[in-house]
Amino acid sequence: MAYTQNDFKKGQPRWCPGCGDHFFLASLHKAMAEIGVDPWNTAVISGIGCSSRLPHYMATYGMNTIHGRAAAIATGAKVANPNLTVWQVSGDGDGLAIGGNHFIHANRRNINLNMILLNNRIYGLTKGQYSPTSPRGFVSKSSPYGTVEDPFRPAELCFGARGHFFARAVATDAPGTIEVLKAAYEHKGASVCEILQNCVIFNNGTHDAVYDKAGRAKNAIYLKHGEKMLFGENNEYGIVQDGFGVKAVKLGEDGYTEADVLIHDAKCEDNTLQLKLAEMEWPVALGVIRDVEAPTYDDCVTAQIEEVKAQKKYHNFAELLETNDIWEVK
């Protein structure tokens, strides 16, 4: 059935004007319309936080649950009902601080969830404390002298948990966001999409380098599987191998030519170079960084049940009872 974004819209969002959540929500509505899964076969599950209000603005099934547990709740929903398309939406606090354990285990198990991580590097709903993605030294209400801890890098956490899909988009970039959301849906297994977004009130400008089109033209690279990793306003830069890592170079300088530029391989099982790409500070890698096929937990659970059903001779409660040592009292 053909859908439009209106088929997925509900209610009036209550986020602050200019919040990245508005942009992301619009892209999600559009992506879902293009994907075409019925709203009644879709569940959007969030935790707690500004961005976790999102399911209230979806005309699908939804749950706005408790802090940090969205991935765990989504896991049960998907495993119990594999026919559902499940989107899990969390902010950086919900997903990586209180919910960090569920985030890594959902990735490790490779449950077929579309896991959205809305990263504004701040706690907005509680009014401005540092988050696990805030940079070291970050000054906030709970760190007036700067934080003394290093942040998580979401891709690193995902890869460390043996994640098979990681993509990144900027909330204000609708085509880029829709593209990664569709790719996340197409990927069977846990698909993490990190959405870079601004918090106008408590962390304004955190993603400024890539937040508008002009910035992205200079400071971001759109990765496409099988294509040369070129970027810049006129594609004058490229990503080349640098020892065990990668670096950005200007073509024509230091003897680098287009022939030296690496071709992006999102399907490569070994995540080493994908991690290097994800962690580049300049340019910021956008698009699908890793997209590798692997057996999904929910499929395997279903398959194992079918396999055991075929093996075992008992298939209902009465037959189960008969598998025990039974005696008769007359």
Partner 1 sequence: MEIKEKESVVVRFSGDSGDGMQLAGNIFSTVSATVGNSISTFPDYPADIRAPQGSLTGVSGFQVHIGAGQVFTPGDQCDVLVAMNAAALKTQYKFAKPDAAIIIDTDSFGPKDLEKAQFKTEDYLGEMGIDPDRVIACPLTTMVKDCLADTDMDVKSMLKCRNMFALGLVCWLFDRDLDIAFNFLKEKFAKKPGVAEANIKVIQAGYDYGHNTHSSVANVYRIETKNKVPGRYMDITGNKATAYGFIAAAEKAGLKLYLGSYPITPATDVLHELSKHKSLGVTTVQCEDEISGCASALGASFAGALAVTSTSGPGICLKSEAMNLAVIMELPLVVLDVQRGGPATGLPTKSEQTDLLQALFGRNGESPMPVIAAASPTDCFDAAYAACKMALEHMTPVILMTDAFVANGSGAFKLPNLAEYPAINPPYVPEELKGTWTPYMRAENGTRYWAVPGRQGFEHILGGLEKDDKTGAISTNPENHDLMTRKRQAKIDAIPVPDLEVLGDKDDAELLIVGFGGTFGHLHAAMDEMRAAGKKVAQAHFKFINPLPKNTAEVLKKYPKVVVAEQNMGQLAGWLRMKVDGFVPAQFNQVKGQPFVVAELVENFTQLLNK
Instruction: State the minimum distance, in angstroms, from the CB of residue 184 to partner 1.
Output: 19
By CB under 8 A, residue 30 contacts partner 1: no
By CB under 8 A, residue 324 contacts partner 1: yes
Question: How many chain residues bind partner 1 (CB under 8 A)?
Answer: 57
Pick from 185, 152, 155: nearest CA to 33: 185
Pick from 187, 194, 186: nearest CA to 210: 194
CA–CA distance, 248 with 307 (Å, rounded to integer)? 50
The b-or-e profile of 103-117 (16+ CB within 10 A means b, else e) is bbebbebbbbbbbbb
By CB under 8 A, residue 69 contacts partner 1: yes
User: What angle in degrees, to the nearest 10, is found between the helix axes of 20-35 and 174-186?
Assistant: 50
By CB under 8 A, residue 29 contacts partner 1: no
By CB under 8 A, residue 1 contacts partner 1: no
Strand partners, 143: 140
By CB under 8 A, residue 235 contacts partner 1: no
Instruction: State the minimum distance, in angstroms, from the CB of residue 159 to partner 1.
Output: 18
By CB under 8 A, residue 79 contacts partner 1: yes
Q: Please, are residues 131 and 93 in contact by the beta-carbon 8 Å criterion? A: yes
148 CB-contact burial (10 Å; exposed 0-12 / middle 13-18 / buried 19+): exposed
By CB under 8 A, residue 11 contacts partner 1: yes
CA–CA distance, 67 with 292 (Å, rounded to integer)? 30
What phi, psi does 317 have (nearest 5°)? -65, -40
By CB under 8 A, residue 62 contacts partner 1: yes
Q: Which among 164-172, 229-237, 261-269, 321-329 is the span making contact with partner 1, rule CB under 8 A?
A: 321-329
By CB under 8 A, residue 6 contacts partner 1: no
By CB under 8 A, residue 36 contacts partner 1: no
SS3 162: coil
Task: Name which of residues 287 to 316 contact partner 1 (CB under 8 A).
Answer: 301, 304-305, 308-309, 311-312, 314-316
Instruction: State the minimum distance, in angstroms, from the CB of residue 101 to partner 1.
Output: 6
Strand partners, 312: none
Q: Which of 4, 18, 36, 38 binds partner 1 (CB under 8 A)?
A: 38
Q: Using CB under 8 A as the criterion, which residues of the chain lie in contact with partner 1 when the complex forms?
A: 11, 38-43, 45, 48, 55-56, 58-66, 69, 72-81, 83-84, 101-102, 105, 301, 304-305, 308-309, 311-312, 314-318, 320-321, 324-330
